[in-house]
Amino acid sequence: MLLKIKNRPMKKIFSLLLVVTLIVLLPTVVLSAKNIEQNQNRGQIQNQKEETELAVENQEQEKNSKEAAPRSDKAQEQMSEVAKKVEELLTAEGQEGGIGKEISEFAKQQQGAQRAIKENLARLEARQGILKTLFGPDKEALKKLKQQAQQTRLRIKKLEKLQNRVTNDALQTQIKETLSVLKKQNTTLLQQISQEEEKFSFFGWFKKLFAK
């Protein structure tokens, strides 16, 4: 009977300690649960942000690819036509005396120019997406394409002068066709250069902002 009386206070003390412990630990448990939930929410928000940025970047790349494709196809087609016509003029060396040699020399120079134009167009079109948005088009490639366009314009004038001295009808036709495709190619090239220069770039805008 005495043992039972002694055990009752012990049970009460144990129960009281248990209640106190729960009261002390409950805020910590609740806070930890809230922190876990907040971390999960932050992770979800971060994932959504990254997915949105990736989607925007993909859309930008797709847009640039669609814009570049028609210009690229047209330029490639015209360059192929020019290469064919210029190669035909290489055979003029044995025709029309000294004029034939000058025409052949023109053809060799333009062949070299065509290779340079093709190389720099490839460099220009290689820069797409976020890189182009940040830094703009390849400035060095644009500079070289401008130089090639100017040099081609001068060679066109030279070929027109040579054409006036040619008496052979077949060679006259060859030169006329070459001039036609060359002028088209140069016009397309200058248009592409102009469009690329007008494209927005973050660092270009930043530079202009501080230049004012």
Same domain, 72 and 138: yes
Structure tokens that stand for 32 in this block: 């930890």
Q: Is the pLDDT of residue 13 over 70?
A: no
Q: Average pLDDT for residues 21-48, to the nearest whole number?
A: 59
pLDDT tens, position by position, 127-162: 888 878 778 888 999 999 999 999 999 999 999 999
Same domain, 186 and 109: yes
pLDDT in the model for residue 6: 46
Half-sphere exposure (Cβ direction) of 120: Cα atoms closer than 13 Å: 22
Residue 51 within any structural domain of the chain: no
Same domain, 24 and 75: no
pLDDT in the model for residue 39: 62
Residue 48 within any structural domain of the chain: no
Same domain, 125 and 205: yes
Same domain, 11 and 85: no
Residue 61 within any structural domain of the chain: no
pLDDT tens, position by position, 160-172: 999 999 998 999 9
The domain in which residue 109 lies consists of 68-211
Residue 49 within any structural domain of the chain: no
Q: Average pLDDT for residues 7-12, to the nearest whole number?
A: 57
Residue 4 within any structural domain of the chain: yes
Number of domains comprising the chain: 2
Poorest-confidence range of 42-56, 165-179, 188-202?
A: 42-56
Residue 59 within any structural domain of the chain: no
Poorest-confidence range of 3-7, 85-89, 184-188?
A: 3-7
Same domain, 27 and 91: no
Same domain, 100 and 182: yes
Half-sphere exposure (Cβ direction) of 15: Cα atoms closer than 13 Å: 6
Q: Average pLDDT for residues 41-65, to the nearest whole number?
A: 55
Q: Average pLDDT for residues 16-39, to the nearest whole number?
A: 57
